[in-house]
Amino acid sequence: MSALLKIDALSVARGGALLAADISAELAAGGLLLLTGPNGSGKTSFLRALAGLLNTNQGNVSRSSDFHFISAQSLTPSLETPRQYLTYQSALAGQPFKIIADVFGITPYLDTPLKNLSTGWRQRVKLTRLMLVDHPLWLLDEPSDGLDAIGEDTLKMIIKLHLQNEGAAVIATHDPHLWPDAKQIGFGS
């Protein structure tokens, strides 16, 4: 079975500061890798490098070309509705808007302006992107931010199901306790 993600001696710097040096890892189907560490330690920069959104200083990343990248940036409270946001995200993926499964329970809020939804509900809307198109590799930056206990349980469930269905995930997180059996790469001191 080939790796969905292979990291070979990767080093990442930002603003002249070396954030990650000579990191190697491989993630096959069913694999989960956590990036942990304090704020500002380089988790997000490393994840962005894995997604090809940030240049690396050295090393190589090879990954599945079909992947989800969900940033930590929260959805802006706006007049846009979840339906409009998800329709746009579907179009970017070349798909018609259709939620594969409404695991986050957003259907009652599809036509509610994002500005009227709490941070947790906006996070659920953003994570629903994972249910629009089936990609084998998920790169998730702080996916549990803003979620209540039910939202966290749902997130853990969909990640578990994704891994059982031959997917893999890399998660930058301050909540490694949500995935106690995952491999981890620690950043910062």
pLDDT score of 145: 95
Using DSSP bridges, classify how beta strands 17-27 and 5-14 pair: parallel, antiparallel or unpaired: antiparallel
Q: Is the pTM of this model over 0.85?
A: yes
pLDDT number for residue 1: 56
* Look-up of token digits 């997180």: 173
pLDDT at 17 (0 to 100): 83
Q: Where are the beta strands (DSSP E) in 110-182?
A: 137-141, 168-172
- State the 10-residue block means of pLDDT for the chain, 189 residues long: 89 87 94 95 93 90 92 87 92 82 90 95 94 93 96 96 96 95 89
Note the pLDDT of residue 78.
Answer: 86
**How many Å apart are CA 140 and CA 115, to the nearest integer?**
23
Would you state the pLDDT for residue 182? 96
The 8 Å CB, 24+ separation contacts for 36-41 are 36/172, 36/173, 36/174, 36/176, 36/184, 36/185, 36/186, 36/187, 37/186, 37/187, 37/188, 38/187, 38/188, 38/189, 39/174, 40/188, 41/187, 41/188, 41/189
User: Measured between alpha carbons, how far is 138 from 168 in angstroms, rounded to an integer?
Assistant: 6
- For 57, how many CA atoms within 13 A lie in the half-sphere containing its CB? 16
